[in-house]
Amino acid sequence: MTRRMRALWLPALLTTLLAEVGLSLVTLVGIRPWTILLDWHVFHSHHPLQFYVPWLAALSLVAAAAALWSRRQGGTPREAAVVAMSPVIAALALVAVATPMDVLIDVVVLSKHSAEHSFCGTAWLLVSFVLAPGLALALGLLVATRWHRARAGSSVHQALASRG
């Protein structure tokens, strides 16, 4: 297996899978999301924002572990960041594909609802399942980066002390 496969693709795939399985388990167990009712004045729709707080907290741990795993497999700091943020990258890609499809099929072809409804749903998805998880994952990445730098710094100090 190549270094890039060990340091980037495999950790990113497993990180994304772990994040999605974690969200599924949280919902299957019956944990209710923290809900913020909003009136999206721009779109005149009533989609609440939903945050699964235990899942968001777990995402920070997942991101930290994933980034450290990537670095231990020889990954660069950029690869470790991509690995840690891979669940959000996948969610953003899903939103980028799903929104035009929803508009094309449900609005244009079937006339099920208005385009405003589609764009309000997109805003809800972006805030609840891209922005909030992205912040949680970024927090985990930050912790892992600091921890990795501290360990690398202590290794350098130990090596210099053993030389002297």
Q: How confident is the model at residue 119 (pLDDT cuts 50, 70, 90)?
A: confident
Q: What is the pLDDT of residues 88-106, one digit of tens each?
A: 999 999 999 999 999 999 8
CA 15/CA 48 separation, integer angstroms: 27
**Which pLDDT does position 157 carry in this prediction?**
53
Phi, psi (5° rounding) for residue 34?
-75, 120
- Tell me what the pLDDT averaged over the chain comes to: 89
**In 3D, which of 80, 29, 22, 17 has the Cα closest to residue 56?**
22
**Which pLDDT does position 155 carry in this prediction?**
61
| Domain range list for the chain | 3-163
**In 3D, which of 34, 36, 35, 76 has the Cα closest to residue 53?**
34
Residue 51's SS3 state is strand
Residue 49's SS3 state is strand
The pTM is what? 0.85
Residue type, 32: R
Alpha helices in 48-76 (DSSP H): 53-72
- The whole-number average pLDDT for the span 135-156 is 88
